Amino acid sequence: MIKSEQEIIDIVDRQRAFFNTAVTRAYDFRFNQLMELKSGIKKFESKLSAALKDDLGRPDFEIYATEIGFVLHDLSNTIKHFKKWMRPRRVKTPLLIQPASSHIHYTPLGVNLIISPFNYPISITFAPLISAIAAGNTAVIKTAEITPTCSRVIQELIDEIFDPEYIAYIPGEVPETTLLLKQKFDHIFFSGSPRVGAIVMAAAAKHLTPVTLELGGKTPCIVHSDAKMNIAVNRIVYGKFMNAGQTCIAPDYVMVHQSVKEEFLERIKKRVIDMYGDDASISPDFGRIVNEQHHSRIVNLIDQNKILVGGQVNKADRFIAPTVMRDVTLEDRVMSEEIFGPILPVMEYDNFDEISGVISKLPHHPLACYIFSESKAVQRELVSRIQFGGGCINHCLQHVVNPNLPFGGVGESGIGSYHGFNGFECFSHKKSILKAATWFDLPLIYPPYKGKLGIIRRIMK
């Protein structure tokens, strides 16, 4: 049922009133809600799996590894550690303000809005929600309208587990999102495109609402001359074509050293066929594009004259074969936007300046970067030289699996980060508290100041 503006206002008001009761701040309450969510995910596993197959045609292995299993692993890690995360953290206190102790207290932000994308509708809805609950908040959830089956199941799960004054799901499309963005939240978490991220940030600015934006960008993958080619090819094909390329941190294009380009092209062509067969449309391991609009957009990025492997499409089935394009330049249409589909352009380079030159000419800072090289010097140089959110050396995507690594973008690819403790911090205010002793009162800081300046100078060097 579509929510009217008044209904949305009422939901936000009731959540704020519930948050102000301080019920959500208690450890036991947070723990119980996380356990309820974990039970709910397990109960709804078959429905969630069926929904992902319906909306995105995803294979069972991908569904569990990147969606349901990912959420359950996140829940287990959070449940195990968040009591420790909640404790005030002691920090050093300088001599000038002794005797005293200093601590950072983590307090919940309040009423949060979480807007999730279509490409990983389960994991990128529930991962930030897990962090919000662990940090003691309430939350309003809005999922992507272009994965309707997933959205219906997510709503059913949330409505069954949570009271809407605590966690509420808002169905609908762009008008409902617009109404939500008009409200005063204490924090907005958005994952999606940079274009929509700018709209979210502009709406948040009207209320001075802090935002966490997980956006996109053309993620480079660099294959240096000394890379272990078989390993590089295996991992690049895996990283690129999972979820039919609809992954925000998938390799968007490859820059391969000219001395090994032909070897790379030969191996990657064979590897694509080995993984998905001569006809990927009948492979049980390859997904589909989310809708006809995205299908048409992606198809228009393919240059038939540069196809190394793939290129087959079927509009009725929303199918685009895993496609590799060779000899791509910045003038090619495929380099004009984030692909977000199963097309992998391959460019060549001779030196690191050429890599920097290509990345600097593209519209957004990369959300991720992948570097294949056996040389520590090369690894250090490229990690230092390229500005990106996070990434891997000699692998793709795997940094997102480690809950101890913050996940987020930089510049146009995002603001803020989350996962694990970083997610807890994302939905918390770090409140600084200095507790001064009363057994001694340092006379140095009080007037009259005569004769004290020299002492202050020595202390504050």
Residue 1's pLDDT band, with cuts at 50, 70 and 90, is low
Assess whether pLDDT exceeds 70 at residue 396: yes
Q: Over the stretch 23-47, which tens digit does the pLDDT of each residue have?
A: 999 999 999 999 999 999 999 999 9
Q: Which domain holds residue 61?
A: 5-215+413-433
Q: Do residues 87 and 229 both lie within one domain?
A: no
Pairing relationship of beta strands 220-223 and 253-257 according to DSSP bridges: parallel
Number of other residues whose CB lies within 10 A of the CB of residue 354: 14
Q: Do residues 39 and 187 both lie within one domain?
A: yes
Domain count, the chain: 2
Domain assignment present for 461: no
Catalytic, out of 150, 221, 248, 392: 248
Domain assignment present for 447: no
Q: Do residues 210 and 272 both lie within one domain?
A: no
pLDDT of residue 402: 96
* Mean per-residue pLDDT, 144-155: 96
Q: Do residues 193 and 236 both lie within one domain?
A: no
Q: Which of helix, strand or coil describes residue 91?
A: strand
Q: Do residues 188 and 273 both lie within one domain?
A: no
Residue 459's pLDDT band, with cuts at 50, 70 and 90, is confident
Domain assignment present for 445: no
User: Residue 222 carries which DSSP code?
Assistant: E
Q: Do residues 395 and 419 both lie within one domain?
A: no
The number of CA neighbours under 13 Å toward the Cβ of 197 is 22
Domain stop point among 408, 423, 453:
408
Q: What's the full length of the chain, in residues?
A: 461
Please give the Cα distance from 400 to 104 (Å, whole number): 27
Q: Do residues 338 and 358 both lie within one domain?
A: yes
pLDDT of residue 364: 77
263 in active site: no
Domain assignment present for 195: yes
Please give the Cα distance from 168 to 163 (Å, whole number): 7
Calculate the average pLDDT of the chain: 96
Q: Which of helix, strand or coil describes residue 43?
A: helix
Residue 442's pLDDT band, with cuts at 50, 70 and 90, is confident
Q: Of all residues in the chain, what percent carry a pLDDT higher than 70? A: 100
Pairing relationship of beta strands 100-108 and 89-91 according to DSSP bridges: antiparallel
* Mean per-residue pLDDT, 269-278: 98
Q: Do residues 257 and 144 both lie within one domain?
A: no
Q: Over the stretch 241-264, which tens digit does the pLDDT of each residue have?
A: 999 999 999 999 999 999 999 999
Q: Do residues 52 and 175 both lie within one domain?
A: yes
Residue 4's pLDDT band, with cuts at 50, 70 and 90, is confident
Q: Do residues 259 and 365 both lie within one domain?
A: yes
Sign, Cα dihedral of 178, 180, 183, 186 = negative
Cβ density class 274-283: b for 16+ within 10 Å, e for less:
ebbeeebeee
Domain assignment present for 459: no
Contact between 53 and 288 under an 8 Å Cβ cutoff? The reply is: no
Number of other residues whose CB lies within 10 A of the CB of residue 229: 18
Q: Do residues 95 and 234 both lie within one domain?
A: no
Catalytic, out of 62, 67, 176, 214: 214
Q: Over the stretch 150-208, which tens digit does the pLDDT of each residue have?
A: 999 999 999 999 999 999 999 988 999 999 999 999 999 999 999 999 999 999 999 99
Q: Do residues 190 and 266 both lie within one domain?
A: no
Domain assignment present for 55: yes
pLDDT of residue 460: 87
CATH number at residue 317: 3.40.309.10
Domain assignment present for 457: no
Q: Over the stretch 299-344, which tens digit does the pLDDT of each residue have?
A: 999 999 999 999 999 999 999 999 999 999 999 999 999 999 999 9
Q: Which residues pair with 90 in a beta bridge?
A: 103
CATH number at residue 126: 3.40.605.10
Domain assignment present for 439: no
Least confident window among 2-6, 333-337, 349-353:
2-6
214 in active site: yes
